[in-house]
Amino acid sequence: MFKAKDGEKIARIQDGFQCCGLRSVRDMAFPFPDASHGSEACVVRYERGTACMDAWREEERKVAIMLLVVPLAVFVWKVAILLSPSSSSAFLPSAIRLPNEDGAGGARPRGAIEYHDVEEGAEEGEADSVRAEVNRLNKDSSVATYVESGRVKAKNGLWQDHENWRESQ
CA angle 129, 132, 138 (to 5 degrees): 140
Model pTM?
0.40
pLDDT in tens, 9-33: 888 888 888 888 878 887 777 777 7
pLDDT for res 83: 84
Query: Which whole-number Å values give the CA distances from 106 to 40, 82, 97, 102, in the listed order?
Result: 80, 22, 13, 5
pLDDT in tens, 103-154: 554 555 656 566 655 555 455 555 557 777 777 777 877 777 777 776 655 5
Q: What count of other Cβ atoms lies within 10 Å of the Cβ of residue 20? A: 28
Distance from C-alpha of 26 to C-alpha of 28, rounded to nearest angstrom: 6
All structural domains of the chain with their residue ranges: 1-82
Query: Which whole-number Å values give the CA distances from 5 to 31, 34, 146, in the listed order?
Result: 10, 12, 90
pLDDT for res 134: 76
Distance from C-alpha of 129 to C-alpha of 167, rounded to nearest angstrom: 29
